[in-house]
Structure 1
Amino acid sequence: MYRKNYRSKLAFFRGKGPLPARLVFLYSFILFMISCLFSVILIDQAIEPIIINIAKSEIKRVSSEVINESIDENIAEHDMEDLIIVHFKDEGKTPAFSFNPKIYNSIRSSTTKDIQRKLGINEDQQFYEGQSDKVDSDQFKSLVYNIPLGVVTHNSLLASLGPKIPVRMSLIGNVEPDFKTKFTDAGINNTYLELFAHFKINVQIVIPSYSEKMLVEQEISLGGIFVPGDVPDYYSEDGGKSPAPAIVKPASPKK
């Protein structure tokens, strides 16, 4: 009885034979798709932080270049001596400083608009090809850079290979300019007044499956002026501890 059942089962398995080619192809295709899906997920998790860091570095570099170029283009039209007004006081008193409001507002407005315009050029990047004057206002929305996937290898030979990953930079808010001054002693009673432009730009980095807001800050020296002061009759480096010598003024000639 046992042998009979064993033989019947063996005959049953032998009778089925190999799987049809259609089922083999279907099962192989399903396994292949599952393997590809898991591979893509693992690769994406591995390279996404690298792509994000590269995108941040690229956005900072582009923003800095645009700010420097805009400053050079707009500040070159003005002279620091016309922008900074020195108000001299009585003898021995420190002079006061102020900005020429007309020139100050002109530089502030033109530079801010220029930076916003250049950071808002569309993906064709016409500005860097010398065609920024032909860009339509509809293109001033976002800037797209295509970063090759090969840059994640950190290999100069492979950096330009692989599919392009689009990285979009969009302006979230306005460019915030701030002008600061710095005073430096330049000898006895002499002062060097230096003007700085500090910019804050709120940008948004957008890559596939990821988006992040970032603040880009840049400070640039616009130039300065040298303000000479009155030469004192006596100068001491000991902080005024030693008594000042008696200074006798020459008598005026008799008439």
Structure 2
Amino acid sequence: MRIRRRGWRSRTRRPKRRRKVWIAVVIITIIALVQFVQYVERRMTGPIVHLAQIRVKQIATESINDAITAQVANQQQVGQLIDWKTDDNGKITGFMLNYSAHMKVTSETIQTVRHTLDEVARLSETIPLGQALGSPLLASFGPSIPIKIEPKGDVKVDLNTRRQDAGINMILVEVYLRVKTELAVVVPFDMESQAVETEIPVSYLLVVGDVPMYYYDSKGNPVGEGQADAPNIALPALPGGDDTAEPPATKEETVTPDGANGSGEPAGNTGAGNTSSEEPSNPDMNTGGHN
């Protein structure tokens, strides 16, 4: 009778297999993450930077406009920015900028913009990764990508005026500030610069000149209080603009028989009559003939 011995199996093999599986999973995960990062760098860096630039420009423009508007509202020298030139009758003949008030407003605006940009740089902004995919369904999903804003370059401020017609002999003068600056948009994968330019109106001035009693509209009709005393004028017709105009009248010609004119008289008699009527009668010459 043979006795079979039960074989002993080692229990240390299963942990080794699990360890190998976990190592394989970790390696695959690392490779997938590396591929995902490379894909994001190649394909999604451009859309992410573009969205970040739009967001930064929006934030900076709103902050600058609010700060300068609040500053200008509290200044008293805004009404002294323009020096008007008048003649002896008190009529306005021109204007020019008051450069002392001009320089003061410009310097204060530069300081305000710099302080505002420093506050904007402390803001923490994020963009969902789904917005870079361009899909409306995935726009609010995905990890949030942080955006950092850094001031780059100096701030340029120009105080200018522009004019536009506001009626008959009336001009609207606008005084405005133009602010130009440059910011650096920093995202995890790239950094781009973004120029910010905005215009803030400071004041509006209406210059009213002498208004005529009447004027003519585009159709040649007088308009105004004195239109009854206005002379009537006729606008010239445009060349080739009216095809229904009547043709000019032509002179009718009558064909007559040979040797006769239009009245039916012979040509010879007509000529003789014309000759006798054209020659004046001179009694002296007749008297001399008899002599």
Letter in 2 for 1:109: S
Query: TM-score under structure 2 normalisation?
Result: 0.59
Partner of 1:190: 170
Choose the corresponding residue for 2:179, options 199, 211, 219: 199
* 8 Å Cα contact 1:178-1:199 kept in structure 2: yes
Structure-2 residue corresponding to 1:104: 102
Describe how 1:31-50 pairs up with structure 2 within 5 A: 31-50=28-47
Query: Cα distance, 1:207 vs. partner?
Result: 1.2
Query: What letter corresponds to residue 67 of structure 1 in structure 2?
Result: I
* Contact 1:194–1:224, Cα closer than 8 Å, also in 2: yes
| 2: CA distance, partners of 1:204 / 1:150 | 23
1:131-150 to structure 2, matched below 5 A, reads: 144-150=124-130
1:4-23, Cα deviation, whole Å (9 max, x unpaired): xxxxxxxxxxxxx99x5244
**Displacement of 1:221:** 2.4
Which secondary structure does the structure 2 equivalent of 1:214 belong to? strand
1:150-169 equivalent positions in 2, closer than 5 A: 150-152=130-132, 154-155=135-136, 159=140, 161-169=141-149
Q: Paired residue for 2:161?
A: 181
Q: Is there any run of 5+ residues in structure 2 with no aligned partner, and where?
A: 1-12, 219-229, 231-291
Q: Which residue does 2:70 correspond to in 1?
A: 73
CA RMSD in angstroms, aligned pairs only: 3.4
**What is the alpha-carbon distance in structure 1 between the residues aligned to residue 214 and residue 112 of structure 2?**
51
Q: CA deviation at 1:69?
A: 0.5
AA aligned opposite 2:40: I
Could you tell me which of 73, 98, 118 is aligned with 1:120?
118
In structure 2, the partner of 1:208 is 188
C-alpha distance 123-235 of structure 1, shift in aligned 2 (>3 A): closer
Shift of the 156–120 alpha-carbon distance from structure 1 to 2, 3 Å rule, reads farther
User: Contact 2:60–2:120 (CA<8 Å) still a contact in 1?
Assistant: no
- Greater Cα radius of gyration, structure 1 or 2: 2
Contact map agreement 1:168 1:207 (CA 8 A) in 2: yes
Q: Name the count of aligned residue pairs.
A: 205
Distance in 2 (CA, whole Å) between partners of 1:122 and 1:229 is 46
Q: Tell me, what secondary structure is at the counterpart of 1:121?
A: helix
**In the alignment, structure 1 residue 57 sits paired with structure 2 residue 71:** no
What SS does the aligned partner of 1:120 have? helix
Query: Can you give the 5+ residue segments of structure 1 that lack an aligned partner in the other structure?
Result: 1-16, 126-143, 239-244, 246-255
Alignment equivalent of 2:197, drawn from 206, 217, 237: 217
Residues 24, 192 of structure 1: alpha-carbon distance in 2 compared, 3 angstrom cutoff: closer
- Secondary structure at 1:60 match in 2: helix
Alpha-carbon distance in structure 1 between the residues aligned to 2:30 and 2:131:
27
Equivalent runs, 1:5-44 vs 2, <5 Å: 21=17, 22-44=19-41
Percent identity reads: 28
Q: SS of the residue aligned with 1:174?
A: strand
